[in-house]
Amino acid sequence: MTNFNQLLQSLISQEQQLTSQIFLAPALPGQPITVRLNNLLYRFDNSQGYEGWGIFQPTSTKSVKKLEAADPIKVAQYLQLFTTMRLILVYPLRGQTWLAYPQYPEVFTRHTQRQPQPVEVHLVTGGEKLLPITARYDGKLFWYEGRDSRSDIVLYSRLQDLFRRQETEFRLPQITPPMITAYTLAAQQDETFHQDRTEMLLRNAFLQGGGHFISYVDEGPFWRVKWSTSDGTEHNSTLNKDLSVITAGICLAGTDRTFDVQSLVNVVERRHESSSYVGY
């Protein structure tokens, strides 16, 4: 009984200490407010639907109250604990959460151990489509930090201007494949964008692989696509609508379906390079 009483008193004391503390944390609607206090991880109920950076005080081991909005300087100090990621905002998803795409795919993969892909960025303020930003990655989520001052603002402004004009030809010498991917994703979501979104998707996919899209025919469950390698050699391939390969158009020893567009372009380019040395 003595041990039980001691344990009970310890828990009561711990809760009293907990409710006397205040902490800074991000809050997302529908998700618990998570914080580590006294080397223990707490997940507090957020049924009030807080969204934003706040100063909170526990009212129990399960609930908190928001005291005030967090000071931006304190938020910046908090974010410095995490890895910087440079992203391109694509479009808003809900509240202050936006979809974004990596500016530098190799860096993204190195830090996240994931292939380049669209990600959610939380607590975005002053967001714009195709805006370059910095975010902080905590190992699970991405938190908005600010506009990316190291990016080429003029180039991104011209990209935004192309989007407003609903262009599908990217006549910008310095445009990168990630910028085109972000542009394509934004166009696919925008109901007012009247251009052929399938063509944009395919053009972008072949560009990232190092090839050039020429044309396509929609065959219902799949596309027949004409494209060329960097030396101008044309090929005809059949693709699923998730961009996986059905038939490559060249002999791949029955492995066609193991490729996607980017890997298909790479293997065809290598095949051409190796064949060019035959007879030497």
82 bridge partner residues: none
Any domain includes 158? yes
Q: If you search the block for the tokens 């914080």, which residue do you land on?
A: 35
AA identity, residue 12: I
Domain for residue 178, yes or no?
yes
Taking phi over 0 as left and psi of -120 to 50 as alpha, with beta for the rest, 254 belongs to left
Whether the pLDDT of residue 247 is over 90: the answer is no
Tokens matching residue 250: 């060249």
**Share above pLDDT 90 across residues of the chain, in percent, rounded to a whole number:** 46
Instruction: Round to whole Å and give the CA distance between 130 and 248.
Output: 33
The verdict on residue 91 lying in a domain is: no
Question: Which two three-digit tokens encode residue 201?
Answer: 């998707």
Range of the domain at 235: 210-274
277 phi/psi in degrees, rounded to 5: -100, 0
Please check whether residue 136 lies inside any domain of the structure: no
Identify the band that residue 61 occupies on the pLDDT scale cut at 50, 70 and 90: confident
Largest CA distance in the chain: 91
Q: Is residue 224 part of a domain?
A: yes
> What digits encode the pLDDT tens for the residues 188-217?
888 777 557 788 778 877 887 788 889 899
| Domain boundary residue, one of 195, 227, 259 | 195
Same domain assignment for residues 221 and 268 = yes
Rg value, the chain, Cα: 25
pTM across the whole model: 0.71
3-state secondary structure 62-77: CEEEEEEECCHHHHHH
The strand pairing partners of 205, in sequence order, are none
